[in-house]
Structure 1
Amino acid sequence: MPWARLAGLLAAAALLAGGCGSTGTDAVGGSGAAPPGFPVTVANCGVTTTYERPPRRAVSLNQHATEVMLALGLERSMVGTGFLDDRVLPEFQAAYDRVKVLSKEYPSFEALLAAEPDFVYGGWSSTFDEKEGRGRPALREAGIDTHLNIEECPRGPVTMATVEEEIRTIAKIFGVPERAEKRINALRAVLDRVKSKTTGTAPTRVAVYDSGDKTVFTAGGAGIGNEIIRLAGGANLFSDVRKPYGDVSFEQFAERAPDVVLIYDYGDQSAEAKKRFLLSNPALKDVPAIRNRRFAVLPLSSTVTGVRAAGAVEALARQLHPDRFA
């Protein structure tokens, strides 16, 4: 993009941001005085932002960011969204249909500015790819506040407490903390139900197959995937990988001898295709899960720090311990 064009877009966006306080309306903040509890200051992944009032023209990018917004009833404060991995959950479909889809994947910087947002919420760090012009500093220069899902910059292992923190933070930014507590209580109820079913069971030995034909891209011990397995009554055999994800060899995968292989389902390669690949791999022929054809499947959209996490625990628990849910 020519620099003169970019400068013009930035200037236009800055003028828009400067006028938002007097012209915008939304379901949360309205157009008058800032609601109680503001200003709000949030430190997020190295960026500190003070919100004088709730955002009114938000854009969400990536599935889990979008569904957190919709779970909090913020669709009226959204002017755009993009980059789903799956269909949104049925409970959010009507709200989602009210929001303009800016792009199938990430919008260009120019397309993003054309939506005139005052806030961009990203699920993955790739949302704010500086090489694509969407870096957080560039957006701030344009008068647009940003937030990145905290699984991308954790202070320690990601747990259900991290999920709750993310939901509470977005609710705080938009001035709807009571909605966060209602959603969190619902998530906790699901987890309590699973715990009541799985208490007393021996943890099932689980290894994740995300992807890979030369090595296995698997879930390590630092991400929400490890927590989902633990709460579902499993033991992640690669919890010693001190990252959310990591590559291990097929020989290492075989040596750990999982009783269940958990497949993350997404992209062009279906879960069934992944199963066929694993079953045909001679390095895995003696692995109990392969020998017994014992697989569990979760959509990738459920294995991230968002509102699906508790449902993922229940879905996995039903596959690991079906007798407890009969």
Structure 2
Amino acid sequence: MLPRTVLPRTPATLLSLTCALALAGCAGAPSEGEDGSSSDASARSVTYTSCGQERTLDEAPTAAVTLNQGATEVMLALGLEDRMAGTAYIDDGVSSRWQEAYDSVPVLAEEYPSLEQLLSVEPDLAYASYGSAFADDGVASEDELEQDGIGTYLSPFGCGDDAERPETTFENVWSEIETVGTIFGVEDTATELVDGQREQLDEVREQASGEGTDILWYDSGDDTPFVGAGEGGPQLLIDAVGGTNIFADLEGGWADGSWEDVVDAEPDVIVVPDAAWSSAEEKVEHLESDPVLSELDAVQQDRIVEITYSQATPGATMVEGAQSLSDGLAELDAS
């Protein structure tokens, strides 16, 4: 066999800035320094919406804790590691370009920290990607944290109410990045980051390395495959490269598929995300050892692309995920 290709996985949120001065209007937006941060960011308050709830911080956070990899990578992509008091719950490992910055931030827990662990670093903001962070079996509720003087921000994609949760699109992912940029007073940095990702995504779409390719996004599961469905990150990445998701007709971002449907579809390529709870290696081993699945052309010809799980979830690496998938498909075609 040829070696597998292994590669690095609604409305926009509304923001309204308020002046900390007791004036009828603002004299102007804070100026930004060379690092993209507002020169008087700590002197201004910010009001934003988090899953339909209006929240206000008296000043820009200086000791934030991120709960989930998506939130962590947004902060690192914006160069805000010096404003992070801690982080927790990484799915597969941060992008290598942010590894040094990530290593400078205390890791509070492998998964969600206890409330005591969170309070020990005296945070002024808890930023999470998933609602589970603020659920009963998570860290604490948003109301409880606010009673302790800790602001909260939950990614729009983690909202429990369907009406508050936006469609998974690159535009909405970028909206979250811009929201975080505004909360921390680094609006110019956020704009520069988003503009760069727009250009990179345009290049991926132009390459169309997945055109005419039927793709199985095999997330996890042995007896029943948990697959990339038609409304989430996997579909977004497959669309970006011009491919066809064999389970695009399933609702949601991920869903239970069936091996019978996989065999009938005979996908050209199988994508296996690498995650802490289900490694790419484990999934490949299952495909190669199963007497039926091992006969699929994609398995026989080793047309398997590995990316990280986090690259298919909303955050700062989704465009990187599209690039990784595009590069993987191109390498398969070149081999």
Unaligned runs of 5+ in 2: 1-34
Letter in 2 for 1:321: A
TM-score between both structures, scaled by the size of structure 1 = 0.82
Shift of 1:126: 2.1
Does residue 203 (structure 1) correspond to residue 212 (structure 2)? The answer is: yes
Distance 1:243 1:34 in 2: 42
**2:240 aligned with 1:231:** yes
Give the match for residue 217 of structure 1.
226
Q: Classify 1:160/1:213 alpha carbon distance in 2 versus 1 (closer, same or farther; 3 Å).
A: same
Matched-pair contact (CA < 8 Å) for 2:219–2:226? yes
For 1:207, what is the secondary structure of its paired residue?
strand
Aligned length: 296
Q: Does 1:142 align with 2:148?
A: yes
1:190 touches 1:310 (CA, 8 Å); kept in 2? yes
Shift of 1:229: 1.2
Mapped partners of 2:232, 2:271: distance in 1: 15
Note the C-alpha offset of 1:268: 5.3
TM alignment of 1:58-69, pairs within 5 A? 58-69=64-75
Mapped partners of 2:261, 2:299: distance in 1: 15
Aligned twin of 1:273:
282
* Residue 285 (structure 1) shift: 5.0
Deviations 1:234-263 (A, max 9, x none): 111212222111112222232332111110
Calculate the aligned-residue CA RMSD, in Å: 2.5
The TM-score, its normalising length taken from structure 2, stands at: 0.80
Cα distance per residue 1:99-158 (max 9 Å; x no partner): 222122211011111211110011222222223451222212222111122222364430
Alignment partners' CA distance in 2, 1:162 and 1:225: 15
Letter in 2 for 1:50: T
1:130 and 2:139 correspond: no
Contact conserved, 2:133 with 2:139, CA < 8 A, in 1?
no
Query: Would the alpha carbon gap of residues 31 and 166 (structure 1) be closer, same or farther in structure 2, given more than 3 Å must change?
Result: closer
The residue that corresponds to 1:305 in the other structure is: 314
1:149–1:166 CA contact under 8 A, matched in 2: yes
* Structure 2 counterpart of 1:72, from 67, 78, 93: 78
**Which of 86, 89, 92 is residue 92 of structure 2 equivalent to?**
86
SS in 1 for 2:62: coil
Identity of matched residues, %: 36
Corresponding residue SS for 2:272: strand
2:180 aligned with 1:170 = yes
- Partner residue in 2 for 1:100: 106
Matched residue SS, 2:193? helix
Q: In 2, distance between residues paired with 1:110 and 1:65?
A: 21
Contact 1:119 1:145 in 2 (8 A): yes
> Partner of 2:70: helix, strand, or coil?
helix
- Given that 2:204 and 2:323 are in contact with CA atoms closer than 8 Å, whether structure 1 keeps it comes out as yes
Q: Indicate the residue corresponding to 1:157 in structure 2.
A: 167
- Corresponding position of 1:292: 301
**Alpha-carbon contact 2:132-2:138 (below 8 Å) kept:** no
* Contact 1:156/1:222 (8 A) holds in 2: no
Q: Give the Cα separation in 2 of the matches to 1:78 and 1:268.
A: 26
| 1:63–1:88 contact (8 Å) kept in structure 2 | yes
Structure 1 spans left out of the alignment, 5+ residues: 1-26
Distance 1:33 1:160, change over 3 A: closer
Q: Is the 8 A contact 1:198 1:321 kept in 2?
A: no
Q: 1:132–1:69: structure 2 CA closer, same or farther, 3 Å change rule?
A: closer
Structure 1 256/155 Cα, relative in aligned 2: closer, same or farther at 3 Å? farther
In the alignment, what sits opposite 1:180?
A: 190
> Is the aligned partner of 1:261 residue 2:267?
no
Task: State the secondary structure of the residue aligned to 1:240.
Answer: coil
Q: Secondary structure at the match of 1:147?
A: strand
Q: CA deviation at 1:299?
A: 0.8
Offset of residue 325 of structure 1: 7.9
Give the partner amino acid of 1:177.
Answer: E
